[in-house]
Amino acid sequence: MATTAQLFEEPFDADEYIERLAWRTPGGGSKGGAEAFDPKRLLDEFKCHIEELKQLDEKIQRKVEKLEHQCHREAKEFAHKVQDLQRSNQVAFQHFQELDEHISYVATKVCHLGDQLEGVNTPRQRAVEAQRLMTYFNEFLDGDLRSDVFHNPEKIKEAADIIQKLHLIAQELPFDRFADVKAKIASKYHDLERQLIQEFTAAQRRGEIGRMREVAAVLLHFKGYAHCVDVYIKQCQEAHVREKLDETRHSDVEQYLKNLYDLYTRTTALATKLTEFNLGSDKHTFLSKLIKNIFSSYLESYINMERDYLRSRGAMILQRYYDSKNHQKRSIGSGSIQELKERIRQRTNLPLGPSIDTHGETFLSPELVVNLLQETRHAFERCHKLSDPPDLPKNAFSIFLLLVEHLCVEHIDYALEIGLAAIPSSDAKNANLYFLDVVQQANSIFHLFDKQFNDQLMPLISSSPKLAECLHKKKEVIEQMEVKLDTGIDRTLNCMVGQMKHILTEQKKTDFRPEDENNVMIQYTTACSKVCGYVSKQVEHVRKSMDGKNVDTVLAELGVRFHRLIHEHLQQFSYSSMGGMLAICDVAEYRRCAKDFRVPLVLQLFDTLHSLCNLLVVAPDNLKQVCSGEQLTNLDRNLLHAFVQLRVDYRSARLGRHFS
């Protein structure tokens, strides 16, 4: 293998190099097996190769020394060249300084000459300008404007410059001698100012920015320049507002109202930021007037469009809900007949009209309520922003009336009417009582309604006469719903009592007069067990459906009716000694059930009933003592006598003598 410098280029691996050398040497590698290996030949090859490497090293070393010598020589030559360039640069810099001094000298001479020329030319130009202005002033003085500059529309810029200067001159003249010419100049001044503003407006509508810049530069020296700014801002705002609103005003009212609210809010926010700048002493009035001019045509019709949108949107939300339930809305009715039915129902608790089966549907939807309240919340926000302050309470009240109509009348009140119509009669068997679910959802919905009333409506009307109207309307709605809720709850309680009465019909007379007095193994009767199970379920149902003090009020009423029913039920039977014990066990179970009511009055009533039942088992000799006990001493003697009469031994034991 020939030895060259290329073999040692990076990356160089000595081990790999030796391996390749051995592999290329005949008999030096593994080729041909162990028999073909010739170590002597490999050693000779290595020695030969080492000699070649030494020669190559000497050759490279000589080349390196030659290159180093050449590098030193070139470095010296380069240093000489740099020194020559530095000397040349120093000479050039000196020449440049001399040239700069010469230029400064010439410039000073030129400026001096220019000042001298200007000193001569300026008075001349002023004289020419004064002569020109005097010529135009004479035309106004004679009343005959002959110059083409005042009649050629293309020279309006030049005419504006002339009339602006004449207007300044005229202000310095005495009024008594030059009143007529001053009036003519002022008239022409205002006429040109009006033409320039019209030209600026026309150029803005055509989108000619260059022309607008030219006209604005001319108007800058006129008093009406501020009006030019007003026109520009108004045109920009009107174009933007018109583009955003007109395209949706009749096609998409919802989007139109959103765009109007958004644009008006952003515009007023911009006006607030602009007040930080120096826009004059009446900047607030100026900005308010500007905003009013832009939005006036839209704000005038705002509340009508808001009401129409809410009316149609609310009706659509309601109809979509009832359609999803496959429910055809019933006619509730109105007028004197409906009022008469309502009074009869309240006084007699009779179900008037056909009873319907709602299959457990309350016809109250939280999702629908959220949608209606959301729409109304957005409407209140828009009303607050877009209404004039004097009209704000009135507009907010009209939105509130629509909420009352859709949420309270068309939804909650309708659901209460359907719920009332679905309550079965008190003698119905196995009746499903869904009205309490209606009560629960109606309460939840009205809490949301009341929250929006306080959070959204009250801040808008709190300091106006409309507050009294709103509170009266809210009170009226609450009272109407409470009447129907009370009626429905009362009829539902009657149904519960009717169901208990139906269960108690399973009570047999032999339950309290068993044939075998000594072989009674039950703790309480089957009818009692079923009634207690039913009552416990209804108590839990009431707790889930009511909140606050309403729970105690309804449970107290249910407990009183429950007690009355058991009291009357027990008086239908006669009792043996063991039967009396069973009656006491039943009443004890009823009393345990009454504890679930957590109403002291109900528990007290059942405690008293339990004491009365003791009269059924007490020994005849101890009867008078028991009647005088702590629990019974305050009760009517006739009531005690009535319970004692239920004993089978009443006549045989002559128990009536204790009450004679």
Q: Which of 395-399, 559-563, 636-640 has the lowest mean pLDDT?
A: 636-640
pLDDT (0 to 100) of residue 297: 81
Average confidence (pLDDT) over 579-606: 93
The confidence score (pLDDT) of residue 336 equals: 45
pLDDT-derived band of residue 27, with 50, 70 and 90 as boundaries?
low
**CB distance 589 to 528 below 8 Å:** yes
223 has a pLDDT exceeding 70? no
Distance of CA 240 to the CA centre of its chain: 26
| Whole-number pLDDT of residue 453 | 94
Does the pLDDT value for residue 246 go beyond 80? no
pLDDT value for 412? 93
pLDDT of residue 134: 67
Q: What is the mean pLDDT of residues 579-584?
A: 89
pLDDT score for 208: 74
Q: In the prediction, which pLDDT does 335 show?
A: 43
Residue among 447, 464, 444 at smallest CA distance from 397: 464
First to last CA, the chain: 149
- Give the residue, 197 or 600, on which the prediction is more confident: 600
User: Is pLDDT above 60 for 347?
Assistant: no
Residue 232's pLDDT band, with cuts at 50, 70 and 90, is low
**pLDDT value for 356:** 62
pLDDT at position 153: 64
Q: In angstroms, rounded to a whole number, what is the distance separating the alpha carbons of residues 494 and 349?
A: 9
Q: Which two tokens stand for residue 40?
A: 């002597």
Q: What's residue 603's pLDDT?
A: 94
Average pLDDT over every residue of 207-232: 68
pLDDT tier for residue 547 given thresholds of 50, 70 and 90: confident
Is the pLDDT at 226 greater than 70? The verdict is no
Q: What is the pLDDT of residue 346?
A: 46
pLDDT value at residue 490: 93
The yes-or-no verdict on residue 33 having pLDDT over 70 is: no
> What integer is the mean pLDDT of 639-656?
85
> Is the model's pLDDT at 350 over the cut of 60?
no
Whether 204 shows a pLDDT value over 50: the answer reads: yes
pLDDT of residue 425: 83
Residue 245 banded pLDDT, cuts 50, 70, 90: confident
How far apart CA 239 and CA 279 sit, in angstroms, is 23
In this structure, which amino acid lies at residue 527? A
Q: Is the pLDDT of residue 654 over 90?
A: no
Residues, the chain:
660
Range with lowest mean pLDDT among 187-201, 217-231, 339-353: 339-353
Average pLDDT, the chain: 81
Work out the average pLDDT over 13-41: 72
- Long-range pairs of 190-194 with CB within 8 A, sequence gap ≥ 24: 192/156, 192/159, 192/160, 192/163, 193/219, 193/222, 193/223, 193/224, 194/224
Range in 259-263, 270-274, 286-290, 524-528 the model is least confident about: 286-290
Q: Report the distance separating Cα 603 and Cα 590, nearest Å.
A: 10
Helices 175-206, 156-172: crossing angle, 10 deg rounding? 150
Task: Give the predicted TM-score (pTM) of the model.
Answer: 0.62
pLDDT at 552 over 50: yes
AA letter at 290:
L
Mean pLDDT of 623-634: 81
Distances (CA, A) of 102 to 88, 99, 537: 21, 5, 116
pLDDT value at position 450?
93
Residues 360/435, Cβ–Cβ less than 8 Å: no
Percent pLDDT > 70 in the chain is 76
Model pLDDT for residues 113-146, shown as the tens digit of each residue: 888 777 776 777 666 666 666 666 666 666 666 6
Closest CA to 599 of 524, 549, 545: 549
Mean pLDDT confidence for 534-545: 93
C-alpha–C-alpha distance, residues 629 and 402, integer Å: 64
Q: Which residue has the higher pLDDT, 6 or 40?
A: 40
Angstrom distance (rounded) from CA 228 to CA 217: 11
Share of the chain above pLDDT 90, in %: 37
